[in-house]
Amino acid sequence: MGYDAIVIGSGLGGCAAGATLAGAGKKVLVLERMDVLGGRCSNKERDGFRMDIGCHFLFGCEHGAFEEACRRVGKGGILKFDHPDNLCIRIQDTVINVNPQEASIDGDFIDKITINLAAGMSEMQSMMPPELMNMGIGMMTQMMPMVTAMAAPIIEQFDDVTIQDFFDQYIEFQKARDLVEIIQFAGFGTPSFLTPVSEFMRTMLGFLEYYKPGMNPLELMGYPIGGLGMIPNTICSGIRDKGGEVRVGANVRKVIIEGGRAVGVELDDGEVINAPIIVSNAGIKETVADLVGEEHFDPGYAGRIRDLIVGISCFTIRAALDTKVTDLDGFFCIPQGNLDTYYHKLWDEKVIPDGPPAVMWSVPSNMDPSAAPEGKQLINFVGALVADCKQPYNKIEEDALSTIEQVVPGFKEHLMWYEFLTPETYIALGEQGGPAIGIGQCVGQVGKNRPSSKSPVEGLYYVGAECGVDMSGIGTDMATRCGLKCGDYIVQNS
Ligand SMILES: Cc1cc2nc3c(=O)[nH]c(=O)nc-3n(C[C@H](O)[C@H](O)[C@H](O)COP(=O)(O)OP(=O)(O)OC[C@H]3O[C@@H](n4cnc5c(N)ncnc54)[C@H](O)[C@@H]3O)c2cc1C
């Protein structure tokens, strides 16, 4: 059976590239080493609890790249998302609540503020007829690609300015700096002393492109009904419908190069499969060094890829509770101040700092009741960790559990069991260091400096949260857009 293209890995980048190629009439084979599809966007089941490998919230949702990837293989409109309506951020004794009606800050944070979002919106609407308002927003969103293009050279000037240096100029209040730190960390998976402020700007503009008139902005953020695995499973079922094949438990050990071009792959059992196009979602560093071999690349290029910094890894705690203990959909918690000092110690010294770590959590069963048996609750917690840590991981496990017990009333009493996942879980997906997102959105490797999806080896491409010139944004959305863009390029040029 001849294939036009082989995709190595079924992460969202691989799925989106595969969907684009299959939708354009190419015969596609997707090879996934694990026994489930989706990589860092997958889930598994235990005792009726559906646990996601990644955590919290996706961006763009039914208005963004996931939907586009589904649409390309005839599966548009199938994915459904629940959007958060009850979020909370706790910075020591300060609690910030956000829901579609109201954002309120309780405690010592500049001053006690309550912003009534619903009242604010209706006041704006009463000042302007709805048609006019929708037309204005419509025009604004139509113009967004133009605005983005015009803003690109300005934004580029901030590629060398870290979020930390940028905000240090404007924010002295420590809790506000910690708030910026956790939000940007959740988005980019790198500490603020590494992330350029340009990534923040590009990401914001990217989301505005998804915005449609009349939409509640919180609709751009959500959780897929059926769990994270719904996204790769839906896309891959579309690839099969288009005549493609998807195999799980198929580890590619080598990309075969002949006459300087990629011509096929070899699996662990020795099976050789040929195709003129190989799209690797297996991590750019691993593809160059392990699957292809550096000898097939110019030494300068191979060295550059070898030196890419990957984002930070993480630990996750998935907790099964025998009853519902919280109404929140998601939560950030910074129990001790100076988060950036904490991340410096973790990242630079590879030690787990003393004291409770910052955690982000999501409650999948509040957004999709099928995530837990009736009457029970599933909570996912995630925090930063490094794979080459000098101390045993159980130090952070204990510290995180003590944070959780303090901020989630009833947690200890109602906990049935929990699973503690370490960077090794993410390393098993193929990438050294087990980054939560992919290559770091760091100074020196964003914007034009991100490695291109087109490799110097003819017929070989990379996709995912690993590459793509000018790709920016948040994990799953960025990986999917990279796959779509790379797929378009291949279709137009082959
Ligand atoms: C704990 C956690 C929380 C996260 N939270 C969020 C969030 O809230 N929002 C968000 O948008 N993003 C989040 N992310 C990030 C997001 O999940 C990733 O950035 C994104 O899913 C990466 O997609 P990818 O295409 O790069 O592929 P990956 O998910 O890395 O998939 C690569 C696939 O390739 C397979 N593979 C590797 N090598 C081989 C081989 N040799 N042969 C065959 N198959 C191979 C792997 O098994 C894997 O399935 C989170 C990640 C983690 C870990």
Q: Is residue 433 part of a domain?
A: no
**What is the structure's pLDDT at 272?**
98
Q: What is the mean pLDDT of residues 346-366?
A: 93
**What is the structure's pLDDT at 113?**
44
Report the atom number in ligand 1 closest to the C-alpha of 435.
53
Question: Which region, left, alpha or beta, applies to residue 317 given φ > 0 means left and ψ of -120 to 50 means alpha?
Answer: beta
**What is the structure's pLDDT at 211?**
80
Per-residue pLDDT for 78 more than 80?
yes
Could you tell me if the CB of 31 is within 6 A of ligand 1?
A: yes
Asked if residue 30 lies in contact with residue 247, where contact means CB atoms within 8 angstroms, the answer is yes
**Tally of domains in the chain:** 3
* Cα 292 to ligand 1 centroid, rounded to whole Å: 21
Write the pLDDT tens digit of every residue in 202-253: 998 888 888 877 777 778 889 999 999 999 999 999 999 999 999 999 999 9
Asked if residue 325 lies in contact with residue 377, where contact means CB atoms within 8 angstroms, the answer is yes
Per-residue pLDDT for 65 more than 70?
yes
Per-residue pLDDT for 15 more than 70?
yes
**What is the structure's pLDDT at 108?**
53
| Structure tokens, 66 | 């996931």
Report the atom number in ligand 1 closest to the C-alpha of 14.
25
**What is the structure's pLDDT at 102?**
59
Q: Which of 215, 246, 276 is the last residue of a domain?
A: 215
Helix 197-210 and helix 174-188, axial crossing angle in degrees, nearest 10: 70
Could you tell me if the CB of 8 is within 6 A of ligand 1?
A: yes
Q: What is the mean pLDDT of residues 92-104?
A: 73
**What is the structure's pLDDT at 114?**
46
* Cα 310 to ligand 1 centroid, rounded to whole Å: 13
**What is the structure's pLDDT at 209?**
82
Q: Do both 284 and 374 map to the same domain?
A: no
Using CA positions, which residue lies closest to atom 45 of ligand 1? 9
Q: Do both 405 and 327 map to the same domain?
A: yes
**What is the structure's pLDDT at 112?**
42
Could you tell me if the CB of 10 is within 6 A of ligand 1?
A: yes
* Cα 230 to ligand 1 centroid, rounded to whole Å: 14
Write the pLDDT tens digit of every residue in 150-186: 788 889 999 999 999 998 888 878 888 888 899 899 8
Q: Which of 192, 215, 238 is the last residue of a domain?
A: 215
Provide the CATH number for the domain around residue 270: 3.50.50.60
Q: Which of 196, 215, 234 is the last residue of a domain?
A: 215
Residue type for 313, please? S
Whole-prediction pTM value?
A: 0.92
Using CA positions, which residue lies closest to atom 27 of ligand 1? 11
Using CA positions, which residue lies closest to atom 20 of ligand 1? 476
**What is the structure's pLDDT at 492?**
97
- List the domain range (segments joined by +) for residue 102: 87-215
HSE of 50 in the Cβ direction (CA atoms, 13 Å)?
Answer: 21
| CB atoms inside a 10 Å sphere around CB 256 | 16
**Contacts by 172-180 with C-beta closer than 8 Å and gap 24+?**
173/110, 174/337, 174/338, 175/91, 175/92, 175/94, 175/108, 175/109, 175/337, 176/109, 176/110, 177/339, 177/340, 178/91, 178/334, 178/337, 178/338, 178/339, 178/340, 179/89, 179/91, 179/96, 179/334
Report the alpha-carbon distance of residue 488 to residue 479 in Å, rounded. 14
Residue with tokens 């769990």: 227
* Cα 464 to ligand 1 centroid, rounded to whole Å: 8
Mean pLDDT of the chain: 90
**What is the structure's pLDDT at 236?**
98
Residue type for 185, please? F
Asked if residue 42 lies in contact with residue 229, where contact means CB atoms within 8 angstroms, the answer is yes
**What is the structure's pLDDT at 176?**
85
Q: Do both 105 and 198 map to the same domain?
A: yes
Q: Do both 182 and 78 map to the same domain?
A: no
Q: Is residue 158 part of a domain?
A: yes
Distance separating the N- and C-terminal Cα atoms of the chain: 20
Write the pLDDT tens digit of every residue in 110-160: 444 444 444 555 555 566 666 666 666 666 666 767 777 778 888 999 999
Report the atom number in ligand 1 closest to the C-alpha of 286.
38
Could you tell me if the CB of 372 is within 6 A of ligand 1?
A: no
* Cα 479 to ligand 1 centroid, rounded to whole Å: 8
**What is the structure's pLDDT at 175?**
84
Residue count of the chain: 494
